[in-house]
């Protein structure tokens, strides 16, 4: 998970215009029990906030967001959760699959009915 955060910060630093940015916020809290939080902001608009707690398998479960600079100016926000299920980002930037055609929904409904009736195919 630390690698994911480091990668995100590194990607943000390369994507941003290379100018001298001043840090306007850098708050870090380590509670000593594996839980933590940090927030970072620069005067050029880059920003990130993360909170984490110990996970069930020894990892850090985290949630937060970061801002990515856009070529057109401005920033896009990426919210994320990173836990036992992996890194799960949510953003308008991320592609989404095309909706399934109506006939596929009908086929899935029929297949579910057949499974419920004990019908199997080999």
Is 50 a member of any domain? yes
38-95 tens-digit pLDDT: 999 998 888 999 999 998 888 899 999 999 888 888 899 999 999 988 999 999 888 8
- CB 78 within 8 Å of CB 68: yes
Is 99 a member of any domain? no
Q: How many C-beta atoms surround the C-beta of residue 60 within 10 A?
A: 17
Closest CA to 65 of 75, 55, 54: 75
Is 109 a member of any domain? no
21-34 tens-digit pLDDT: 889 999 999 999 98
92 or 3: which leads in pLDDT? 92
Residue 7 has pLDDT above 80, yes or no: no
Is 74 a member of any domain? yes
Is 121 a member of any domain? no
pTM given for the model: 0.61
Residue 13 has pLDDT above 90, yes or no: no
Report the number of distinct structural domains present in the chain. 1
Is 101 a member of any domain? no
Q: What does the pLDDT read at residue 26?
A: 93
Average pLDDT over residues 6-16: 56
83: domain range? 2-92
- CB 63 within 8 Å of CB 48: no
SS3 (DSSP) at 15: helix
């Amino acid at each position: 998970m630390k690698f994911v955060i480091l990668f995100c910060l590194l990607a943000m630093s390369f994507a941003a215009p290379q100018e001298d940015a001043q840090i306007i916020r850098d708050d870090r809290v380590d509670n000593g029990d594996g839980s933590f939080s940090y927030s970072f902001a620069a005067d050029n608009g880059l920003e990130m906030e993360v909170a984490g707690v110990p996970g069930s398998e020894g990892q850090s479960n985290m949630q937060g967001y970061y801002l990515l600079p856009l070529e057109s100016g401005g920033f896009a926000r990426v919210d994320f959760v990173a836990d036992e299920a992996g890194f799960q980002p949510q953003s308008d930037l991320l592609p989404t699959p095309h909706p399934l055609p109506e006939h596929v929904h009908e086929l899935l409904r029929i297949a579910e009915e057949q499974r419920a009736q004990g019908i199997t195919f080999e």
